[in-house]
Amino acid sequence: MKDFLFNFKMPEHFLVTGDPLIYGAQVSIVLASLAILFVLTYYKKWGWLWREWLTTVDHKKIGILYLLASLLMLFRGGVDALLMRMQLSAPNLNFLDADHYNQIFTTHGVIMILFMAMPFLIGLMNVAIPLQIGARDVAFPALNAVSFWMFAAGCMLFNISFVIGGSPDAGWTSYTPLAGNQLDPGPGQNYYLLGLQIAGIGTLVSGINFLVTILKMRAPGMTLWRMPLFSWSTLITSVIIIFAFPVLTIALALLTLDRLFGFHFFTLAGGGSPMMWANLFWIWGHPEVYIVILPAFGLFSEIFSTFARKKLFGYGAMVYSMLAISGLSFLVWVHHFFTMGSGPWINSIFSISTMLIAIPTGVKVFNWLFTLHKGRIEFKTPMLWALGFIPVFLVGGITGVMLAAAPADYQYHNSYFLIAHFHYVLIGGTVYGCIAGLVYYWPKITGFLLNERLGKWAFWWFTAGFNMCFIPLYIVGLKGMTRRMYTYPAGLGWETWNLIATIGAFGMGIGFIILVWNMIYSFRRGEKDTTGDPWNGRTLEWMTSSPAAEYNFAVIPKVKGLDAFHLMKKERAEGRKEETPEIKPIHMPKSEGFPVVMSAFMFISGFGFVFEWMQIGAFGLLGCVITMIWRSFNDYDRDYYIPVEEVKKTELAAGRRV
Amino acid sequence: METTTTTKGYQPMEYKSEEGRLKIFGFWIFLGAEIVLFSTLFATYFVLVNQTAGGPSGKDLFEIHIFATETFLLLTSSFTCGLAILYMRRNSMKGYLIWTIITLLLGLGFLIMEIEEFAMLVEMNAGPTRSAFLSAFFTLVGTHGLHVTLGIFWVIGVMIQVIKRGFTPVTSRKIFMTGLYWHFLDVVWIFLFSTIYLLGVV
Ligand code: HEM
Ligand SMILES: [Cu+2]
């Protein structure tokens, strides 16, 4: 027992040493943390932080937390990207060494997909979905907080790796045997396994939460077929999450057992199968890429129809194509390893299923174009991002079909052609969608309008930089440059293109800075959105004030058709008399402290297991279980009513009739 | 928000509140995710079932009387758990408590047998680190066992709350959800029993 409790095995280097970049990071992290602690204490903000943010169960606030975290992660992942591009800007550079480069492409990939793209979209869902379906919150508000804090714990755990213990370095795919104990000992790879595991719990819970919310909490009259497309895409995404994430959970757990406890799932020595990791990973991984694209599709659909001032063209086809994509997304995973010897039959089948996805996707693109056709298009910033998405996504999609042809893939596989392809879909689709959604919902989130001029600058810098960065990468890919190489010799005809790509990457960075500046600027100088409906929107979220009151709707709206709010406005313009329904006391959930406590224990547990300090790991898990038991015993009186008087006061203060 | 969707005028207490209905529905979805989780483990088991690395296989290790008794205990506990819910519906605290305690004892018996089985295997040098087959076996069966363990704690926790508060919409919802969970673990065991143990010994 004593041996168990006091056995702290130390890795060779607990704090990462030897690199000036990392020393700088360590010092700035310590300084920044101290500064935050100081500011919170000096201005006596701890109570405020706890009451308003750490314990909130309001979907709108949780959405803001998600968005803040993902913007921060976009910054971190972006810095990783710029470091890599600097290293590759010319041949034979030694700005990053091979080990460091390996770590950086790994953290870049993981952070961008799991800690940036997905939480960004889940954040937007939190902001918009309950409003869009006319609900007062999600189905399980406390679990929603659990989702966020689990994500936050996993994300923090993963992010501290580069200063404590060293980052994972086997790529975001972490293929075995490379990621196994023998070839990659030490805490780095454990960070990958535990960080993703903890964050994954949060994602799964979000999936369940949004599924139940959308199926069960829609306003009266809103049948499934009257639901806006962002709600549809969230519904379908939730289903994909529920089917895909348990597979990731298992894959990570099995590799953790291999690494920490000497099991043999993926080690050849005991008869294990390294190939099984590739299969499990991509059975989750391919659906994952649809988890990050479908919500973006949903957002684009909203934006196109709003700014073309038209009903979305082919609503039914849009929904069915998303359903088809979600089904197919589980049937294509082998295309990630055509070259690993699955044989002609299997390769052919997966080649065809992959190409099939192009059909529903094409349907969607045509429907968007027809929505624009004869529309009165307004080039506001959200619309710019949506319009920009179509051509770049097309390039990404077409090169995707090229990669899907298995024999040809033997040429493209793991080259920069592939890198360029998936950045065209991930950036051109997901990131454009996230930014479009962010600027579209910004007034609803904050009550301020963004500056249109700055918004346009951000868009053009980002778009120009993006194409300048990745078109050259297609070319060097065809010229034979492979991914994950930390440097290359001169004389292969790669130099110029690489230099152009690096310059383009910095252009994107400038676009990002302008975007963030615009957000800060809007708080200071921005125009206030007094109407709650800055874009002349068509769906229910624009019916509320900006930002919406904590109860969202004083009276739950009645939905009479698709684009419900548009219909209401039309009726009002036609002078039809409106009934003013009576306000009743509103039932609300109370704040909850347990999600953040539970996640803190989870973080401790994860940290313990990363360093194979099993006692710490067990302690954290125990804390987590005890918190859950405590919550179960205190599961009573978790709600309260807002009295009518107070609702009326809030509504009047927001300039609404009551 | 007290809409009622009664069938023939009768509606169990756990379904009476909107919150109760939502939570039970959400729990069903969660069980769906659990099915995916176990299916993945089953898949890994079947990939690795013949990878014994020169070590023992299922035929050498599984003993019919052990896993048959385990099955008997768990299946019976599922039945008694159903009885407990029946008595809850009849508002009989005594019946609920008796059958819940019997369920717990049966579950505990199952768990003790499983732990003994594992200990025996480890002693025979057939622990999870022996071969890929054994890694997969221990992980799959162990995951189920871990679920049963959590289930036992959960049922006890809910029972204490029921003793303190009686049958209310909230406590009866909790009872109902633990019941669902318990039956679910039973179903998973049926698959474990038939595809791992039975197929393993033939
Ligand atoms: C800000 C602009 C970005 C730039 C300049 C950039 C650049 C790069 C570079 C240079 C690599 C490594 C290539 C290699 O050595 O193999 C890479 C890999 C990767 N990037 Fe990006 N990237 C950007 C944004 C994104 C975004 C937004 C995502 C996802 C949403 C993303 C996902 C990935 C993934 C998954 C990898 C593969 C990592 C691996 O090999 O394990 N990137 N990126
Ligand atoms: Cu794929």
The answer to whether B3 faces chain A, any CB pair under 8 Å, is no
Nearest CA of chain A to the CA of B22: how many Å?
7
Distance CA A377, CA A391 (A): 17
Residues A368-407 pLDDT 10s: 999 999 999 999 999 999 999 999 999 999 999 999 999 9
* pLDDT confidence of residue B9: 61
Query: DSSP string spanning A518-554?
Result: HHHHHHHTPPB--SS-TT---SGGGGS-SSPPTTS-S
Task: Retrieve residue A627's tokens.
Answer: 């918190």
* pLDDT confidence of residue A580: 75
Specify the residue for token string 């937390």. A65
Pocket of ligand 1 (CB under 6 A): A 78, 81, 84-85, 105-106, 108-109, 112-113, 117, 171-173, 419, 423, 426-427, 430-431, 469, 483-484, 505, 508
* Least distant ligand from the CA of A107: 1
DSSP character for A339?
G
Distances (CA, A) of A219 to A361, A407, A642: 30, 51, 20
Answer whether A301's CB lies under 8 Å from A309's CB.
Answer: no
Distance CA B173, CA B180 (A): 11
Average pLDDT for consecutive 10-residue bins of chain A (658 residues)?
74 75 80 87 90 95 97 96 97 93 96 97 98 96 97 96 91 95 92 98 98 97 96 98 98 97 94 96 97 98 96 96 96 94 92 95 97 94 97 96 93 96 97 98 95 97 98 97 96 96 98 97 88 94 94 93 94 82 91 96 97 95 96 91 94 84
Distance CA A573, CA A593 (A): 46
Distance CA A438, CA A117 (A): 12
Q: State the count of interchain CB pairs (< 8 A) between A and B.
A: 115
Report the candidate in B162, B179, B181 with the shortest Cα–Cα distance to residue B170: B162
The answer to whether B30 faces chain A, any CB pair under 8 Å, is yes
Amino acid identity at B146: L
Distance CA A504, CA A481 (A): 18
Domains belonging to chain B, first-starting first, are: 61-201 (1.20.120.80)
Report the candidate in A212, A56, A235 with the shortest Cα–Cα distance to residue A149: A56
Q: Is A641 helix (H, G, I), strand (E, B) or coil?
A: strand
Tens digits of pLDDT across chain B (202 residues): 344 444 556 778 888 888 899 999 999 999 999 999 999 999 999 999 999 999 999 999 999 999 999 999 999 999 999 999 999 999 999 999 999 999 999 999 999 999 999 999 999 999 999 999 999 999 999 999 999 999 999 999 999 999 999 999 999 999 999 999 999 999 999 999 999 999 998 8
Show Cβ contacts of residue A360 under 8 Å, excluding neighbours closer than 6 positions: A320, A321, A322, A324, A325, A328
| CB within 8 Å: B157 and A632 | yes
* pLDDT confidence of residue B6: 46
The answer to whether A263 faces chain B, any CB pair under 8 Å, is yes
Answer whether A147's CB lies under 8 Å from A209's CB.
Answer: yes
A427 CA: nearest ligand 1 atom: 27
| CB within 8 Å: A276 and B170 | no
* pLDDT confidence of residue A637: 86
Q: What are phi and psi of A640, to 5 degrees?
A: -155, 170
Query: DSSP string spanning A113-127?
Result: IIIIIHHHHHHHHHH
ipTM value of the model? 0.94
**Which chain A positions have a beta carbon within 8 Å of B47's beta carbon?**
273, 276
Which residues pair with residue A641 across a beta bridge? A587
User: What residue in B sits closest to A261 (Cα-Cα)?
Assistant: B129
Domain parsing of chain A, residue ranges: 12-43, 57-378+561-654
Residues B8-17 pLDDT 10s: 567 788 888 8
Distance CA A79, CA A68 (A): 17
- Select from A112, A115, A393, A500 the residue to mutate for testing ligand 1; criterion: most ligand atoms less than 8 Å from CB: A112
Burial bucket for residue A321 (CB in 10 Å: 0-12, 13-18, 19+): buried
Pick one of 1.10.10.60, 1.20.210.10, 1.10.260.40, 3.90.190.20 as the CATH number of A57-378+561-654: 1.20.210.10
CA of A81 to the centre of ligand 1 (A): 6
Specify the residue for token string 């348990």. A246
* pLDDT confidence of residue A654: 87
* pLDDT confidence of residue B1: 38
Taken as a whole, chain A contains a residue count of 658
* pLDDT confidence of residue A26: 78
Distance CA A623, CA A644 (A): 41
Angle at A610 between CA A604 and CA A611, to 5 degrees: 100
Q: Alpha-carbon torsion A157, A159, A165, A167, what sign?
A: positive
Show Cβ contacts of residue A368 under 8 Å, excluding neighbours closer than 6 positions: A300, A301, A304, A313, A390
Q: Alpha-carbon torsion A110, A461, A362, A299, what sign?
A: positive
Mutation for testing the B interface, residue in A218, A265, A628, A636 having most B CBs under 10 Å = A265
The answer to whether A247 faces chain B, any CB pair under 8 Å, is yes
The answer to whether B166 faces chain A, any CB pair under 8 Å, is no
The answer to whether B44 faces chain A, any CB pair under 8 Å, is yes
From B37, B51, B174, residue closest to A246, measured CB to CB:
B37
A173 CA: nearest ligand 1 atom: 41
Q: Give the global pTM.
A: 0.95
Answer whether A198's CB lies under 8 Å from A149's CB.
Answer: no
Amino acid identity at A339: T
CA of A198 to the centre of ligand 2 (A): 23
* Least distant ligand from the CA of A118: 1
